[in-house]
Amino acid sequence: MNTVEKIRKQMADNPILLYMKGTPEMPSCGFSAKASALLKDSGVQFAYVNILEAPFIMEKLPEVSNFPTFPQLFIKGEIIGGSDIIEEMLASGELQPLLESAAQ
């Protein structure tokens, strides 16, 4: 399985998936800390991939997602965005229904 196939499998296997630097318990950058905290606060279970431990994924994911920075949130295989977009969508009420629908 090549890296792109692995990324696609991770997205298929996890309806809510955050590619981040570090882990939700020990994030390694402020943006990843913010994104994971917002998702935790939403009350919805999510999976994550620590891209610092997966350099091939960190290298290939921007090509797959057409999104250049990390973290990257995917819901049902679709890119949502990074920490600022997550924050804006939660504040506007757009993100919570997407998360809840994907978590079922």
CA 35 to chain centre: 8
Helix (H, G, I), strand (E, B) or coil at 75: strand
* Averaged pLDDT for residues 33-43: 96
Give the pLDDT of residue 103. Answer: 85
Chain mean pLDDT for the chain: 96
What domains sit in the chain, N to C, each tagged with a CATH number? 3-96 (3.40.30.10)
Q: Which residue has the tokens 């570090």?
A: 22
User: What percentage of the chain carries pLDDT values higher than 70?
Assistant: 100
pLDDT tens-digit series, residues 48-80: 999 999 999 999 999 999 999 999 999 999 999
Q: Which residues contact 66 (CB under 8 A, 6 or more apart)?
A: 79
Give the pLDDT of residue 24. Answer: 97
Give the pLDDT of residue 1. Answer: 87
Q: Helices (DSSP H) in 14-82: which residue ranges?
A: 30-42, 55-65
Q: Which residues contact 88 (CB under 8 A, 6 or more apart)?
A: none
**Rounded to two decimals, what is the model's pTM?**
0.96
